[in-house]
Amino acid sequence: MIVVHLSAQAEQLLERSQQHLLRLLHEKDYWEEQIWTADDDRQAARRSRTVRDRLLGRSSAAELAAYKRYEEARGRLDQVDFERRRLQVTVDQRIVGVRGEERLQSALKWLTDDWTMIRGYRNSRGEVDHLLVGPAGIWAVEVKSSNVRLQVDGDRWCQEKVDRRGRVLSREDACDRTGRPWGRQVGDVARALEQRLRTQGHALPVRTAVVLMHQRAKLGSIKQPGVDFVGTDHRVLLSQVAERTWPLDREQSSAVVDLVRQDHSFHEQRRQGRRHKTKQTSQ
């Protein structure tokens, strides 16, 4: 299988988060040092008080100033540590997500070079983790790495955290950052790609799949998910690819890959242009 990387957004987001986390750790060390210094200064000022101040139980100006620095440093440390702990959760989640995508690539590596895996394809409707293009057709595959039990009823996708006895600990929508259910997330990208291919003379279906790659992920009730496959096992995905085949020859596959590259480049340039324009406006 040939692997083409169009976008490394997940890896880039992870790297930026890790860099931010490192800055917060340095800042945490700085404010801890400031606390120790201020406390040492306060103790020294306390020991050097005049006899009169000691008898009256009165703090000196130096002691009050050191205490003020101590309280300010303590407040900043609490703020930084809160942000650090919150960001650590994000970093951990992104590490799991990146590893999930890599596990699927590794699991499918034995596919022949008639197959191309395109990673990080973006169009007008968003981004999908993987596109598989090969002899059996085109598949858009979204990978999720959550340790959850997935429940689907049409356009209602729900992820449940469960304990070992199967009791539900928490429940929340299984959706992307824009609020789209996972199935619609990958489906929107696939439909936009189908339209793009059609305008170029390739009336080809783009199958869709959502794969949970966490080793403890489970499927609950899956009703009318709106995608061609929902599962936790890449081997079952491959069996679906084989069963729902839409044969492509080498020339067609190559043409699809080229069009996907061009489409991604077009939308990525537009996205970067919008970002630049927004940045200029904000300035």
Q: Is 170 exposed, middle or buried (0-12, 13-18, 19+ CB in 10 A)?
A: exposed
Q: Any idea where the domains of the chain sit in the sequence?
A: 11-93, 108-282
What six digits make up the tokens of 98? 């990146």
58-69: average pLDDT: 86
| Span 170-216, pLDDT tens digits | 999 999 989 999 999 999 999 999 999 999 999 999 999 999 988 88
CA angle (6 as vertex; 248, 272 as ends), nearest 5: 130
How far apart CA 189 and CA 212 sit, in angstroms, is 19
pLDDT over threshold 70, residue 151 = yes
Residue 50: the pLDDT is 76
**148: its two tokens:** 């959850």
Task: Give phi and psi for 60, each to the nearest 5.
Answer: -80, 165
Angstrom distance (rounded) from CA 256 to CA 250: 10
Mean per-residue pLDDT, 264-277: 76
pTM over 0.85: no
Q: Each residue of 66-79: pLDDT tens digit? A: 999 999 999 999 99
The pLDDT value given to residue 219: 94
R_g (Cα) of the chain, nearest Å = 27
DSSP class of 112: -
Angle between helices 250-282 and 182-199 (to 10 degrees): 110
Q: What pLDDT does 55 receive?
A: 67
How much of the chain exceeds pLDDT 90, in percent? 58
DSSP H helical ranges for 147-249: 182-199, 234-243
Distance between CA atoms of 157 and 169, rounded to whole angstroms? 17
Which residues, including other chains, have CB under 8 Å from residue 228's CB and lie 6 or more apart?
A: 139, 207, 208, 209, 240, 244
Look at residue 278 and tell me whether its pLDDT is greater than 70: no
Residue 10 has pLDDT above 80, yes or no: no
> Tens digit of pLDDT for each residue in 211-262?
998 888 899 999 999 999 999 988 899 999 989 999 999 999 999 999 999 9
Residue 12 predicted with pLDDT over 90:
no
